[in-house]
Amino acid sequence: MSIYVLFIAVLFLLAISDLMVGVANDAINFLNSAIGSKVAKRRVIMIIASLGILAGALLSNGMMEVARKGLFHPQYFLFTEVIIIFLAVMFTDVLLLDFFNTFGLPTSTTVSLVFGLLGAAVGMALFKVGDGATIVIDGVEKIAEIGDFINSSKALAIISGILLSVAFSFVFGVVIQWISRLLFSFNTEKTIKYYGSLWGGLAISAITYFILIKGLKDASFMTDENYQVIQKNTIAIIIGSFVLWTVLLQVFSWIFKVNPLKIVVLAGTFALAMAFAGNDLVNFIGVPLAGFEAYKTYVANHGSDLLMGNLLAEIKTPMYFLFGAGVIMVLTLWFSKKAQTVADTELKLSRQDEGSERFGSSAFSRYLVRRVVNTSTFFSNVIPASIVEKISSRFDRTELENSLKKESDPPMFDLVRAAVNMMVASILIAIGTSFKLPLSTTYVTFVVAMSTSLVDGAWGRDSAVYRITGVFTVIGGWFVTGLAAFTVAFLLSTFLGYTNAIGVIILAGLAVFAFYRTHLTHKKRESEKNESEKEVEDLISAETMFEKCNNGIVKTLNEVNSLYSNTIQLLLKEDHKGLRKQLQRSIDLEKKLDKKRSNTYQTISALPSPDTVEATHYYILVLDYMKEIAHCISFLIDPVYKHVDNNHKPLTDIQAKELNGLVAEVDKYINLVIRTLDNNNNEQLEEIYKEQSVIIELNKEARKNLIKSIKKNEIGTKNSMLVMTILGETRNILIYTSNMMKIQNDFTQSLKS
């Protein structure tokens, strides 16, 4: 029995972890509109969301029905088997969501949990069927089959819910945002006083109905009779709410000069936070609580391994469990760095301005953009020019962009789009819930945010392919979530079925290790991101740009020198693993410099003084040369790695001696360059050129020897091509470095003058 006490303890520890990773992934769903539009100070937004989370947790009954009986039939499983199913589910859910959070990809926490349950139950069913288990169905005993244990129709409903969520959310988001923008335009100061209260009253009415239908659906005090009353009086509730809120918003607008859209966004933030906490996030304690109920039955029967038919009964959750879950969720919301990473992904995909994009382009996104552009051109030619001009004027962002340029930290989008996000998400989720459609709240909020940004022209010609790739990456991740959750939970339940307590200890150790690794990965990614952002912020004058250039050159040359030396030595040792690491280092260096180069536009835009134009010119040239040097070292390492990876013949002793001589001279040359950076002048440049000529002469001699060896048939094709590449890229590194130092010297003279 003591083993099962350990199992229950592990379940609740996993529940705490699951609440934390769940909030980190779902927080953006209710914070996106408020944070992106900067409707209020971040602290105010977080307080409102925290109140919504606590309300949702306390009002929920906290026991996820699907955790107990939705996807499998507990009456056919023994206590020892049910506990293993729940442990496999929780381990899977925690690890999977933490992985998504580390890489900033929002996914459905409910789908992760549901498919984890399905996979674990199938694994345990196979375990039972393999032992020739028998079950009693409708009073008749029969040999068990897998289908007898599983409720497969629920899984199909979840999958259909994904497709329904994406389709409905996109269509409604596009239509309502387009109508709203026609109504308000981007210059809301002129239009808000005419339509703001009416539109706000309609939006908050939808949010109010959403709270009643979705937020309070599983509240402990909500009976079936009360719920039916709400559903039967839907129209009356919406009309009453519309009149009440329209009057209140108009009064607030007249007396307190409050923008009605701000109230809509803040009310929506509270409502969505409440719904997510009450129906999605608090579900994470459903599995451990179901395990705890099973354990109480086990203890009450003096440790007899009984079938768990008691899980079919209705179970109420103690309030202290709900309060504890709410507190954990609120603390995670405030302090989780991974929640901010997930938030950045969605906000950057929907932001109004352009800039560096996280995702690349794909063939599908390029094709889609091309078709949309062609279709748009066709309709522009068919529709009368006067109508096109009138509609275009409502989507003109010129005045808005001019006003935003005056702000140091402008919002990513305006209040109109933020309010539409809240209203459309609330309406769709409420309708889906009332008609018992399996819509995913996560999918609805994400796709609505993407569709409204599309209508607003946030996906322009310069960003559309990257944003579309990002959106389909996230949506693809949703399907991967279900598949991965099912597979991992299936394997873990099978593993635990054979190993029991030892398996739990092993998995706990692996989970801790996985958390540690993802923490380091996330910390590294955030550090690189912060370093990149800080570098842009620090470029405020010609002097700081020169200093950044110097520091960048030193770091790049030191890294290139290390890569060059290590690669040659590892080539001579034929160290395959070592060369693979050097190749990855060179790829990382290229990516880092590419990212720095792509931030040039933001750098130039952020520079305050016209006196920095000349300095910016030199800064860009230096960046170009650093990037070329990084390309050279990558082009050198890649064929070296492939040569060793394909087990080609090693270099000859003479070639090894020549390359070692080159390594020594290149090291001497790069160290000389670094020493001259702070106060370089023409005399020091002459010394650099002199050292460069020595290396080029060595390079030339090695090339001649290579040609002689080829003529004598002393070496093969692979060997000769490899050495040619090494010599050629070595020469290119020298040339680009010398040119870069010439530019940096000109930079110095420019500052002095």
- The CATH number of whichever domain residue 672 belongs to comes to 1.20.58.220
Residue 533 domain flag? no
DSSP letters, 612-670, are: GHHHHHHHHHHHHHHHHHHHHHHHHHHHHHHHHHTTPPPPPHHHHHHHHHHHHHHHHHH
Lowest pLDDT segment from 370-384, 490-504, 712-726: 370-384
Closest CA to 212 of 59, 79, 71: 59
Q: Are residues 511 and 645 in the same domain?
A: no
Which residues face 521 on adjacent strands? none
> Average pLDDT over the chain, rounded to whole?
78
Which residues face 150 on adjacent strands? 72
Q: Are residues 236 and 346 in the same domain?
A: yes
From the number of C-beta atoms within 10 Å of its C-beta (0-12, 13-18, 19+), residue 275 rates as buried
pLDDT for residue 682: 58
Average pLDDT rounded to a whole number, residues 252-281: 83
Q: How far apart are CA 676 and CA 674, in angstroms?
A: 5
Closest CA to 80 of 134, 128, 152, 18: 128
Decide if pLDDT at 680 tops 60: no
- Integer CA distances (angstroms), 605 to 393, 408, 540, in order: 27, 12, 11
Residue 591 domain flag? yes
The DSSP symbol for 107 reads -
Q: Are residues 571 and 667 in the same domain?
A: yes
Q: Give the rounded distance of the alpha carbon of 389 from its chain centre.
A: 38
Q: Are residues 546 and 514 in the same domain?
A: no
Count each helix (H run) and each strand (E run) in the chain, helices first: 28, 2
Q: Are residues 572 and 518 in the same domain?
A: no
Angle at CA of residue 292, ends 290 and 296, nearest 5°? 120
Average pLDDT rounded to a whole number, residues 228-238: 80
pLDDT for residue 612: 64
Decide if pLDDT at 355 tops 70: no
- Amino acid code (one letter) for 629: I
Q: Are residues 645 and 513 in the same domain?
A: no
Give kind and range of the element (H or E) at residue 116: helix 109-130
Residue 186 domain flag? yes
pTM of the model: 0.72
Q: Give the rounded distance of the alpha carbon of 297 from its chain centre.
A: 42
Which ranges constitute the DSSP H helices of 463-612? 464-499, 501-538, 542-573, 576-598, 600-606
From the number of C-beta atoms within 10 Å of its C-beta (0-12, 13-18, 19+), residue 89 rates as buried
Decide if pLDDT at 404 tops 60: yes
Residue 307: helix, strand or coil by DSSP? strand
Q: Could you list the residue range(s) of the whole structural domain that residue 588 is in?
A: 539-752
Angle at CA of residue 376, ends 374 and 381, nearest 5°? 95
- Integer CA distances (angstroms), 501 to 1, 662, 671, 711, in order: 12, 59, 58, 69
Q: Are residues 489 and 580 in the same domain?
A: no
Decide if pLDDT at 740 tops 80: yes
Tell me if 589 sits within 8 A of 597, measured CB to CB: no
Percentage of residues of the chain with pLDDT beyond 90: 7
pLDDT for residue 346: 61
Backbone angles phi, psi at 135, to 5 degrees: -135, 165
Closest CA to 52 of 85, 81, 26: 26
Average pLDDT rounded to a whole number, residues 724-736: 90
Q: Are residues 521 and 545 in the same domain?
A: no
- Name the token pair of 601: 């536009």
From the number of C-beta atoms within 10 Å of its C-beta (0-12, 13-18, 19+), residue 630 rates as buried
Give kind and range of the element (H or E) at residue 141: strand 140-143
Angle at CA of residue 724, ends 719 and 730, nearest 5°? 130
Decide if pLDDT at 313 tops 90: no
Decide if pLDDT at 63 tops 50: no
How many structural domains is the chain composed of? 2
pLDDT for residue 562: 92
Please identify, among 470, 505, 526, the residue that sits at the C-terminal boundary of a domain: 526
pLDDT for residue 62: 47
How would residue 6 be classed by pLDDT, with cut points 50, 70 and 90? confident
Which ranges constitute the DSSP H helices of 405-463? 415-434, 441-455
Q: How far apart are CA 559 and CA 549, in angstroms?
A: 15
Please identify, among 480, 500, 526, the residue that sits at the C-terminal boundary of a domain: 526
Q: Are residues 569 and 520 in the same domain?
A: no
Residue showing tokens 């050279």: 632
- Integer CA distances (angstroms), 373 to 307, 343, 359, 461, 562, in order: 61, 30, 21, 9, 48
Closest CA to 536 of 470, 623, 654: 623
Average pLDDT rounded to a whole number, residues 576-583: 91
pLDDT for residue 158: 65
Tell me if 731 sits within 8 A of 617, measured CB to CB: no
Residue 360 domain flag? yes
Average pLDDT rounded to a whole number, residues 638-652: 89
Residue 534 domain flag? no
Residue 532 domain flag? no
Residue 192 domain flag? yes
Average pLDDT rounded to a whole number, residues 513-536: 69
pLDDT for residue 640: 92
Residue 429 domain flag? yes
Q: Are residues 458 and 593 in the same domain?
A: no
How would residue 569 be classed by pLDDT, with cut points 50, 70 and 90? very high
**What is the sign, positive or negative, of the torsion defined by CA atoms of 101, 102, 105, 110?**
negative
Tell me if 355 sits within 8 A of 344, measured CB to CB: no
Please identify, among 503, 526, 549, the residue that sits at the C-terminal boundary of a domain: 526
Closest CA to 553 of 347, 748, 331: 748
Decide if pLDDT at 143 tops 70: no
Decide if pLDDT at 401 tops 60: yes
Tell me if 407 sits within 8 A of 136, measured CB to CB: no
Q: Are residues 329 and 358 in the same domain?
A: yes
Average pLDDT rounded to a whole number, residues 129-143: 57
Lowest pLDDT segment from 11-20, 343-352, 563-572: 343-352
Residue 156: helix, strand or coil by DSSP? helix
Q: Are residues 504 and 572 in the same domain?
A: no
